[in-house]
Structure 1
């Protein structure tokens, strides 16, 4: 037997036939033997696992077809190739054996050269299949690894861009993390709602949460004397401040144009950046959209952003309590906010408070 030789299991109720087969194969392969179907099913589960099975068809108690059926029904043995060996020398028997899934069919009496050639062929085929399976598993693993790395790079890039706006507006603190948490809470609550279910799939919720930190990216285009002004803005300054919504969506649209193919999260990010200051009654900006004209992603972000602004300290106002912010949002139901989104907020109010506390200005 050669070093590293394949293992062949021969199954036959005749000791004489087993001896003949063993004599023909032992020089090239590791040969194991079983004198019945039941014994074969036990042997096949022990080490070394057979690379090929030569299975007699006509055996008492459990014939070869029944043994084969049990081998295929077990995930551990289902992929082991089987060659039927039988004295039934008929075309019908051979066709039946191949139809049930055997890789080959050899008729007795055994012709040594034919036996060796067919065994060798099937073992080479199995080796090729195993190699392809291993290669496919490796490629699949490598693909998952690279996709994971790409997602990490994507997430880091998103936060790096978002922090550009945050760095220029130091009052925002953990605003990005909090608004992500609020958006997720609203999305999960609304994903079974008939108005929102088509968009709020688990995949889209992840994209929405990933996109949320880019809602104020346009603030990088606002002059410092306005963005960092230690007090309320004049009407003229406020008009300039409001342009951050369009500036943000325009910047994301330029990024989309540079991409070789559509990037899902950028579509939502652009919607959020442009429309998170729209109001349900149409009195928002920059486009004065109303009702369902406002993208769902922006409706969710609008409420999340307002709640966080209300409970946060600004140079022109103190922080409100969570309860005060809740009451203001309740009052804005149907005017500032989509009524169903406002209802979702009220239903998840405790979760909003938990997110706000976890990522408070003194938090991580």
Structure 2
């Protein structure tokens, strides 16, 4: 049978005889260390922390109160239980010791039975506190890990749902990934501006980034004959195509109603799906919203979506160069796009180009 490890107790007293008394009482049950001054005690503790400290008050150079105060003011020693063991018997002395953070105050002459019981009880209390602390740390680690796993599952689900819509258009390829990163890059650039720094917090930007893949989820409701038509749509066909914004919003709303709480990313997902085809001058669809009536998330997606459509090959057009796409976005300042957003876009066009190259379509 393996013997349990003995707890270590540091006895601090400037009188060697008092140290010997403590050893005589406790050495059968504990490992006893000794220090004949406060300064020596602190040196010992800095190398190896004891499980409990028995501390005399009246010592030269550095008294017990000073030693206790030093221990309780440092993060790595503040949790070591300190019991004052002293001849000072006045109530104010005991009050001062406890106020400094000591767990107990025993007066001399020492009662061996009382000393044994109080040391045992305080070591048990410390062991219990340590156990609770460790369990809390383990629980916190598990919560963090589970939260991370749920976030990853959420991200995969959003991309998968977006890909479901995009899979019906074989030429879009990595469109989802690119637009998702464009939105984040543009939002971060806008967050540096005074008008948006309080709105576009890191948490909000992350939620918009997660919701971006659902911007065209409503395309699943558009007939192939219209969605995949190689030429220009008729007016009637275009009216049907425009309904993908409403289909997308309604699909996300239906999913949201199955949840007990409203999550930011679903709120932004609805805004983006429904309003990313709106234009700053009010000439877009589905509602003809204008200016800041268009949700910020949808205005971000409008720039991202149009830029990516311009640089991508379609059945009805070749891929434009990055420079040409930037020029078209710039020309749309104040008409198609939020003017401040276009200004921010112009500051980070190279970042858009880098994202496009990183998630380049194959073939």
Smaller-chain TM-score bracket: over 0.9
Number of equivalenced pairs: 361
Instruction: Determine helix, strand or coil for the equivalent of 1:298.
Output: helix
Q: 3-state SS of the aligned residue for 1:258?
A: coil
Within 2, Cα distance between the matches of 1:272 and 1:122?
60
In 2, distance between residues paired with 1:220 and 1:294? 24
Deviations 1:60-113 (A, max 9, x none): 111111111221233221210101111011111001111111111011110111
TM alignment of 1:1-364, pairs within 5 A = 3-47=4-48, 49-362=49-362
Task: Report the TM-score when normalising by structure 2.
Answer: 0.97
Q: Is the Cα contact below 8 Å between 2:72 and 2:100 reproduced in 1? A: no
What secondary structure is seen at the aligned counterpart in 2 of 1:168? coil
- Structure 1 stretches of 4+ moved >6 Å: none
How many Å apart are 1:35 and its aligned residue? 1.1
Asked if 1 retains the 8 angstrom alpha-carbon contact of 2:9 and 2:30, the reply is yes
Shift of 1:194: 3.0
Deviations 1:155-196 (A, max 9, x none): 111111011011111111111111112111211111022332
TM-superposition CA deviations, 1:128-165 (whole Å, max 9, x none)? 10000000000000000100110111111111101101
Q: Which moved more, 1:21-30 or 1:125-134?
A: 21-30
Runs of at least 5 residues in structure 2 that lack an aligned partner in the other structure: none
- Distance (Å, rounded) in 2 between the aligned partners of 1:39 and 1:194: 56
Counterpart Cα distance in 2 of 1:260 and 1:33: 61
1:362 is paired with a residue whose SS is: coil
C-alpha RMSD of matched pairs (Å): 1.2
- Give the CA deviation at 1:43: 1.3
Name stretches of at least 5 consecutive residues in structure 1 with no aligned partner.
none
Is the 8 Å Cα contact of residues 196 and 296 (structure 1) preserved in structure 2?
no
Secondary structure at the counterpart of residue 85 of structure 2: strand
Q: Secondary structure at the match of 1:33?
A: strand
Q: Pick which of 230-239 and 117-126 moved more.
A: 230-239
SS at match of 2:47: coil
